[in-house]
Amino acid sequence: MDPEIQDAVRRALAEDIGSGDITTNLCVPADALATGRMVARESLTVAGVELLPLIFTDCIVALTRHSGDRVENGDEIAVVQGWARALLTGERVALNFVQRLSGIATLAAAYVRAVEGTRCRILDTRKTTPGLRRLEKLAAAAGGVVNHRMGLFDAVLIKNNHITAAGGVRAALERTRNAGVPMEIEVRTREELDEALACGATHLLLDNLPPTEAKDWILHINRRATVELSGGITLETARAFAETGADFLSSGAITHSARAVDINFRLELD
């Protein structure tokens, strides 16, 4: 497991447990054994269940489903067996992770279904919860989207403010040409578009264009570059944007606006 993910789980447990679970330690005998069953309360795409062994460290964890699996209301996702105190103390952190990450995966899968049958693929963005980006991007991938850059370090993405600060499209492209990582540039006007193509840009970002205008730009590009569309793309409008001929659609909503799905943790004394 990635150290960054392990650290996120440690921090979440420390935040919740602090000096100890007062209620559980007072109410529940130390030698009581129990089984906890994590059950879906709605249709969803699972993500984050692989964290359960990190949360319930002294318990036996059996994953009934794995990240990327589609489940229906009433389906069992995981079974945890061990000391009742351990199950009760870890319950909320486990649900917080799995509900949140499964929510992202579920929304991601809905976007993927929305563009099914087109050549377009869905991208996530860097609009993630601070400190949880790796987990949230794993959840998005579990839903079937393509992970965009992880951060500022693994790809060049020249946005409009970079173009302004660099002194223009040509200057920005020339200074990043030998970066050795994937490179993409946002263009705001047809003049910038033609300049970027003339400079050899191979991946273009078109932002905040309505589908009809985006289609016109993509016809003009004529496969001379890969095209990503972004800006205000919702689940309801994704199909229209995909049918413009774009290669990718990116949506920050997949990570920043996904709701936590309904999952229950049912405890039974052994």
Catalytic residues: 92, 127, 159, 186, 207
Task: Provide the 3-class DSSP secondary structure of residue 45.
Answer: strand
Say how far apart CA 193 and CA 190 lie, in whole Å: 5
What values do phi and psi take at 55, rounded to 5?
A: -90, -45
Return the percent helix, strand and coil in the chain, to nearest 5.
40, 20, 35
For 200, half-sphere exposure in the C-beta direction (CA atoms, 13 angstrom radius) is: 8
117: alpha, beta or left? (left if phi > 0; alpha if psi -120 to 50): left
Longest dimension (CA), the chain: 73
Say how far apart CA 92 and CA 144 lie, in whole Å: 27
Angle, helices 3-17/133-142, rounded to nearest 10 degrees: 110
H/E element, 229 = strand 226-230
- Residue bearing tokens 């970066």: 179
